Amino acid sequence: MKKKLLLIIGLLVIGLLSWMGYSSVQKLNQKSKSEVIIQNLNSLTKNLGLNKANTDQSTIFMYFNSDCHFCQREMKEIGKNKAKFQNYKLLLASFEPMEEALEFLQQYNLTQHYVEVNPDSLTKTIRGGVPQTFIYKNGLLQKHFKGEVKIEAVLEVLE
């Protein structure tokens, strides 16, 4: 009886370890795919179901959520300093419902920069939390900021 119990427990432990290993490998593969996709603006926009981007214009792609207090401060600063961003393409995307995102962006007069994307595609492509800012020049990723970033830092990369 003890031998059978030990065998069952052993098999359960082996099964659990195998499942954990498989899950870890899957997550690493997804992260690697995501890293490749975000390196190029056209691959990012294609993966998110957006139109092909104009790679001649420097682009700022921001991933946000209206409930995030870091995002709120960032959007407030961008809204106040909108003129500094007029020479750049600004794309704002969120995984929340479009109505909520637009209502949030309306507070800062940024609704015209909102891009509607499939929430599942967005969260699979961009790993991690919000806010995240991606800066592209000539269609290639120049800088990726995770978390809140000052607009001066964003503009410094673009200049």
**Sheet containing 59-64: which strands, arranged edge to edge?**
89-94, 59-64, 132-137, 140-146
Query: What's this model's pTM, rounded to 2 decimal places?
Result: 0.83
**DSSP states of 113-132:** GB----HHHHHHHS-S-S-E
Q: What is the pLDDT of residue 102?
A: 97
Predicted confidence (pLDDT) per residue in 107-137, tens digit: 999 999 999 999 999 998 998 899 999 999 9
CA 86 to chain centre: 22
In terms of domains, do 95 and 19 share one? Answer: no
In terms of domains, do 11 and 59 share one? Answer: no
The span from the CA of 150 to the CA of 76, in Å, is 11
Domain count, the chain: 2
Structural domain of 134:
40-158
Helix, strand, coil share of the chain (percent; to 5): 55, 15, 30
In terms of domains, do 8 and 63 share one? Answer: no
In terms of domains, do 11 and 53 share one? Answer: no
In terms of domains, do 19 and 77 share one? Answer: no
Question: How far is residue 73 from each of residues 2, 56, 91, 133, 135, measured CA to CA in Å?
Answer: 62, 29, 17, 14, 19
The span from the CA of 56 to the CA of 62, in Å, is 19
In terms of domains, do 99 and 110 share one? Answer: yes
In terms of domains, do 22 and 55 share one? Answer: no
In terms of domains, do 2 and 77 share one? Answer: no
In terms of domains, do 34 and 56 share one? Answer: no
The span from the CA of 155 to the CA of 150, in Å, is 9
Measure CA of the first residue to CA of the last residue in the chain; give whole Å.
74
In terms of domains, do 27 and 78 share one? Answer: no
Q: Which of 159, 112, 107, 158 is nearest to 134 (CA)?
A: 158
The span from the CA of 131 to the CA of 94, in Å, is 10
Q: What is the pLDDT of residue 38?
A: 93
Predicted confidence (pLDDT) per residue in 6-51, tens digit: 888 888 888 888 888 877 777 776 777 888 899 999 999 999 999 8
In terms of domains, do 72 and 13 share one? Answer: no
In terms of domains, do 29 and 45 share one? Answer: no
